[in-house]
Amino acid sequence: MKNKLLIKLVPLLSAALLLSACVVQSSHPYYTKNLLVNTHTSIQGLWTAKKTVKPWVIKGKNLEFYAKNGAKSRIKLNFFKVNGVLYCDSTPKSPDRKTLHAIWVYHLYPTHLLSQVVITKTQIKFIPINDSKLKALIKQHKLVIPSTLPNASHSEENLYYATSATWVKFLKQYGTTAKLFNIKDAIILTHKAP
């Protein structure tokens, strides 16, 4: 039983680690609905990333990817623009309740992760927001983003609970600030020819 549960948990945990250098998690979306944009039809299909077992698949607003054991994970992608810059708010899709105990699932809170996005004909770059740069802006009193206190057992990570409108205001003001979105932390997907 424990092994089956671990096999199902690995993809969920992998997704969280994959999409996070130092994670900036929000309880609310980073966008307001009026900023949503349709994903480009060119991003639909098969993609590869470093150290992946199977190709990643983008279907509509969903990204499917696989752990080394073949277990599938899914996240929902919401693309939006602020000041002409493309971003992605990603959240986990609901876990399969047939394979996970309901009590365990109730303890999960699907947080939102933010990436700046660069799309070319052959690549998609998801560039996550840099947690240390965000915290530096907060510490310098340049902005106020409400958050929970860091949990000592989970390093210095905060859960931010700013409203979507507050995040949009933040992106308008600081979205192009140097190194707030650092390319060295990017997840780069390369289009896989059919």
More confident call, 159 vs 17: 159
pLDDT of residue 164: 95
Instruction: Report pTM.
Output: 0.80
| Mean pLDDT over each residue of the chain, to the nearest integer | 78
Q: Is 176 exposed, middle or buried (0-12, 13-18, 19+ CB in 10 A)?
A: middle
More confident call, 97 vs 159: 159
Span 134-151, average pLDDT? 75
Span 151-169, average pLDDT? 76
Q: Which residues have C-beta within 8 Å of that of residue 121, sequence separation ≥ 6?
A: 42, 191
**With 90 as the cut, is the pLDDT of residue 35 above it?**
yes
Confidence of residue 140 (pLDDT cuts 50, 70, 90): confident
pLDDT of residue 153: 45
Q: How far apart are CA 67 and CA 10, in angstroms?
A: 7
**With 80 as the cut, is the pLDDT of residue 57 above it?**
yes
User: Rg for the chain (alpha carbons), in Å?
Assistant: 17
Confidence of residue 20 (pLDDT cuts 50, 70, 90): very low
Span 81-86, average pLDDT? 95
pLDDT of residue 25: 87
Q: Which residues have C-beta within 8 Å of that of residue 24, sequence separation ≥ 6?
A: 113, 114, 128, 129, 131, 134, 160
Q: Which residues have C-beta within 8 Å of that of residue 150, sequence separation ≥ 6?
A: 156, 157, 158
Tell me the residue length of the chain.
194
